[in-house]
Amino acid sequence: MRMINLLIVDDHPLTCHSYNIIIKNACQKKLLPKIHIEEAHSIAEAYEKLKGKKSSEIKFNLLLLDILMPASEKNKIYSGEDLGLFVQKINPNIKILVQTALIDNHRLHNIFKNLNPEAILIKNDLDELTLIEAIKTVLNSEPFYSKTFAKLIRNQFSKDYILDAEDRKMLYLLSTGMPSKNIPNYLPWSLSKVEKRKRLLREKLGVENKSVLALIQRAKDAGFL
């Protein structure tokens, strides 16, 4: 089998090193095929390995990507998610495994919809066996989700018909403490439409209390936030 080239991107060198050791040991035990591993500890370093002067040296097949990364103003890449979208443009065949400490349902849902990576691994779920299984599964062209995200996806598939993307965004903005009157600055709605959508959401989610806090709490309980 051809050599697999993997780039680990995480701003914590110790985390990168730990993943590196786990994967190399798995390769030695023949739990995984031969994998050449490189590390990048910043978005700028990852950019250079993927598209800069070093990009001609190696073509990566896999990207193990942390989402919560400090921005690279120089390269106009502001998060790990942005880096993933950039990589998909320059190398559509690369398989992306997201690993993140995020547990916010709204953010995770957006990452799933926008980036659609081959794997999403929540760090609280991540152990040696899960990492190895994720890589093995993705190399077999199948998606892999660690248990926390798999539970979220099951819940979302059963509820997606209730809320559209704009409903979700309104709920998210309200959950940050934004007043309803400011929502039209972020959605193409009038204030009257905001109030109408809030009323419809209360009906859909079974919220009798008219306070925004009650609506937000019910959305959180249902897994939308």
How high is the pLDDT of residue 162?
Answer: 60
The answer to whether 90 and 50 are in contact (CB under 8 A) is: yes
Kindly tell me if the per-residue pLDDT of 126 is higher than 90: yes
> How many helices (DSSP H) and strands (DSSP E) are in the chain?
9, 6
CATH code of the region 4-157: 3.40.50.2300
Q: What value does the mean pLDDT of the chain take?
A: 89
Q: Which residue has the higher pLDDT, 215 or 56?
A: 215
Residue 130 dihedral angles phi and psi, to the nearest 5°: -65, -40
Domain boundaries, the chain: 4-157, 165-221
Residue 207 banded pLDDT, cuts 50, 70, 90: confident
134-148: per-residue pLDDT in tens?
Answer: 999 999 999 999 999
Calculated CA dihedral for residues 160, 163, 165, 171, nearest 10 degrees: -130
Residue 208 to residue 206: CA distance in whole angstroms: 6
pLDDT band at 105 (very low <50, low <70, confident <90, very high): confident
Nearest in space to 221 (alpha carbons), one of 159, 166, 165 = 159
Whole-number Å distance between alpha carbons of 44 and 41:
8
pTM above 0.85, yes or no: no
What's the rounded Cα separation, in Å, for the pair 26 and 31? 5
51-99 pLDDT per residue, tens: 865 555 678 999 999 998 998 989 989 889 999 999 999 999 999 999 9
Q: What is the pLDDT of residue 15?
A: 96
Distance separating alpha carbons of residues 95 and 141, to the nearest angstrom? 9
Q: Give me the DSSP letters along 17-47.
A: HHHHHHHHHHHHTTSS--EEEEEESSHHHHH
